[in-house]
Structure 1
Amino acid sequence: MRRLAPALALGGAALVAVAGCGAQSTSSLGNVKLAAAEAVQQSVQKAEAVTSYSADVALEATGGDKGTSKIQGSLLYQSRPQLATDVKLDTITYGGQNVPGGARAILSGDTVYVKSQLLNKFAGAAKPWVKVSLTDVNAKEQAGIKGFMDQIQQFDLASTVKLLTASKDVKAVGTETVGGVDTTHYSGTFPVAEAAQVIDPAKSAQLQRDLSQAKNVKFDFWADAQSLPRKVALSGAQQGATFNLTAFFKGFNEPVEITAPPADQVSELPKNHVGN
């Protein structure tokens, strides 16, 4: 799982909510009793209608050849009038080493703004932010930069919920309060290979790369009375490596403010990193 920490860090990616096929457990959502699998399908429908939200995410990965990695941050997301995300990673520890200053990435249309001390050092940028147009970089550079952005875009609610529809053992395990909101708690597992088949093909390959060594993922999912996902916890283990990801969701369909940094704080990606 040596790819796991950096991959899930920004994508968080596509890991939320829950699902099931044929489970018989029931729960109460909005005073209506539903089978767990049916409740999850309702969450899929509700998630597909969400156009903006915010999230707090924490990831910890241990074992493997890179040691312990930790990531903690937050996310703003909107799909209209155009796709935009603002990801702040306040804490990044990879292989036991702290990444100074964390990282931040703002995606607006086909442009991404990245604030990272490490990137600035690598690119030789003099200003806090580096601006990259995904249509201007050559194929070699785009593989790295676009992959970075693909992981961010992967963190959309609908795809995450659909992932968990691959579960065949989802069940309701009780009711809990999450962030001051009453929720129903579900638990189950899903096979990574099967989950990858239910999402957008453009995101499927990335998911399988990110979780290539975790054949099955355990999840816990908390849905509110409107069937919206409020919290998800994912965990997996394979070949001595483990990961735990927890995400809290809020602000569904509320206005979000995602703006590019001031122009005087932004450098273009140097030409020697863009290619001819």
Structure 2
Amino acid sequence: MRHKGTKADAIVVAAVMGSVVLSGCGEGSGSKTEGDGTPPSASGSADAQEQGTTEVRAAYDKTAEAESARMTIRMNLAAEGQTITSEGKGVLGLAEGDSVMTVTAQDETIEQRVVDQVLYQKVPGQKTPGGKPWIKIDLEKVAAQQGLGNQQIGDPAQTAAYAKAIADKDVTKVGTEKVGGVNTTHYKVSVDVSKLPGGDQMSKQLGPTLPMQVWLDDEGRLRRQQIDMTVKAPASAQPEGSTSPQQLKMNTVMEFSDFGTEVDAEAPPAGQVTDMTDKALQGSRQQS
């Protein structure tokens, strides 16, 4: 199998970050109330912002209640004047995070599955270093080493942590738009990374805030989510002889439709899989 470090890392990062954000924001508790001395116009604006915050916080729980959806994802990864675009489409289990997708990157089509927090990938016509068609990476182990913790990978029980990381001032209503023919409300959101589980480590990689945009349908479910971030590149993606950390700028847009669709995610037969987790962990350790 030809090794294209940047492309492989990009796809893995997309899978991991997609799972991280999908575990997203749950319903928050409590709301700010304005004092009697607040001018009516300011109070109205604050009330609207408060309502938007509540809707965004609740969106991930409401989306997860659908149990599954069809998803498309488009990611642009830019580093040192080069841009790599990957596109994926498939189905996603919103409770467990299992998925079956086809990903296209650098003119190659990759079959991808996530089953029980293990990422499997196969490039048709190519063999892994072990001579087998599939590779696998244990996402829980990678996340744990990076200080993210298992709870951040597709665990809906942790949604409250994201709700606490979003304050009223961090949500701005942009307007209304159609996404896939569906009416949606568009919000800009800023997540305080330090308030997330593993936030200290995440802050080193992502900075203090995670800027997102979300589009919610009339039932309060996610229809589109956009994330823009700058992350430190994995060592495997660093140019040879580089003495300074390479910065990767990543734009990811996910869209959801056909809620309740069936997800048939099964791990490939063990005899057809080469475990690349240790290599991924080694590359991760070399970052710091």
The TM-score bracket by the shorter chain reads 0.5 to 0.7
Secondary structure of the corresponding residue to residue 50 of structure 1 = coil
Superposition TM-score, scaled by structure 2 size: 0.61
Give the CA deviation at 1:251: 2.0
Of Structure 1 and Structure 2, which has the larger fraction of its residues in strand?
1
Tell me the residue number matched to 1:154: 153
Residue identity in the other structure for 1:172: K
Superposition TM-score, scaled by structure 1 size: 0.63
User: Are positions 1:246 and 2:253 aligned together?
Assistant: yes
**Number of residues of Structure 1 aligned to a counterpart in Structure 2:** 235
Q: CA RMSD in A?
A: 4.6
* CA gap 1:254/1:241 in 2 versus in 1, 3 angstroms: closer
Instruction: Kindly indicate whether structure 1 or structure 2 has the higher relative contact order, using CA contacts under 8 Å at least 6 residues apart.
Output: 1
Residue identity in the other structure for 2:92: Y
Tell me the residue number matched to 2:191: 190
User: Are positions 1:70 and 2:85 aligned together?
Assistant: yes
Tell me the residue number matched to 2:123: 116
Tell me the residue number matched to 2:21: 15
Say whether the 8 Å CA contact 1:10–1:87 is kept in structure 2.
Answer: no
Secondary structure of the corresponding residue to residue 39 of structure 1 = helix
Correspondence list, 1:66-105, <5 A: 67-78=82-93, 84-91=98-105, 98=106, 101-105=108-112
Q: After superposition, give the CA deviation of every residue in 1:22-63 in whole Å (9 maximum; x if it has no partner).
A: 583638xxxxxx811121233133134232112111111223
User: Equivalent of 1:43, from 59, 66, 69?
Assistant: 59
Secondary structure of the corresponding residue to residue 269 of structure 1 = strand
Q: After superposition, give the CA deviation of every residue in 1:54-111 in whole Å (9 maximum; x if it has no partner).
A: 2111111223x6953332212422267x7632132211xxxxxx4x634323244587
Say whether the 8 Å CA contact 2:134–2:274 is kept in structure 1.
Answer: no
* CA gap 1:83/1:220 in 2 versus in 1, 3 angstroms: closer
Give the CA deviation at 1:158: 7.9
Cα distance between partner residues in 1 of 2:77 and 2:119: 27
Say whether the 8 Å CA contact 2:177–2:184 is kept in structure 1.
Answer: yes
* % identical aligned pairs: 21
User: Are positions 1:224 and 2:217 aligned together?
Assistant: yes
Tell me the residue number matched to 2:76: 60
Secondary structure of the corresponding residue to residue 47 of structure 1 = helix
Residue identity in the other structure for 2:85: K
Secondary structure of the corresponding residue to residue 170 of structure 2 = coil
Q: After superposition, give the CA deviation of every residue in 1:106-131 in whole Å (9 maximum; x if it has no partner).
A: 2445876431379834x232x53357
Which structure 2 segments of 5+ residues have no match? 1-5, 33-44, 232-245, 280-288
Cα distance between partner residues in 2 of 1:215 and 1:118: 42
Residue identity in the other structure for 2:218: A
Say whether the 8 Å CA contact 1:18–1:221 is kept in structure 2.
Answer: no
Correspondence list, 1:118-267, <5 A: 120-121=127-128, 123-125=129-131, 127-129=132-134, 143=141, 154=153, 163=162, 166-167=165-166, 168-194=169-195, 196-197=196-197, 208=202, 212-237=205-230, 241-259=248-266, 267=272
Residue identity in the other structure for 1:74: K
Cα distance between partner residues in 1 of 2:143 and 2:130: 16
Say whether the 8 Å CA contact 1:24–1:171 is kept in structure 2.
Answer: no
Moved over 6 A (4+): 17-21, 144-147, 156-162
* CA gap 1:159/1:222 in 2 versus in 1, 3 angstroms: farther
Give the CA deviation at 1:175: 0.7
Tell me the residue number matched to 1:26: 48
Q: After superposition, give the CA deviation of every residue in 1:204-240 in whole Å (9 maximum; x if it has no partner).
A: 688x28x714332222110001000000111134796
Secondary structure of the corresponding residue to residue 249 of structure 1 = strand
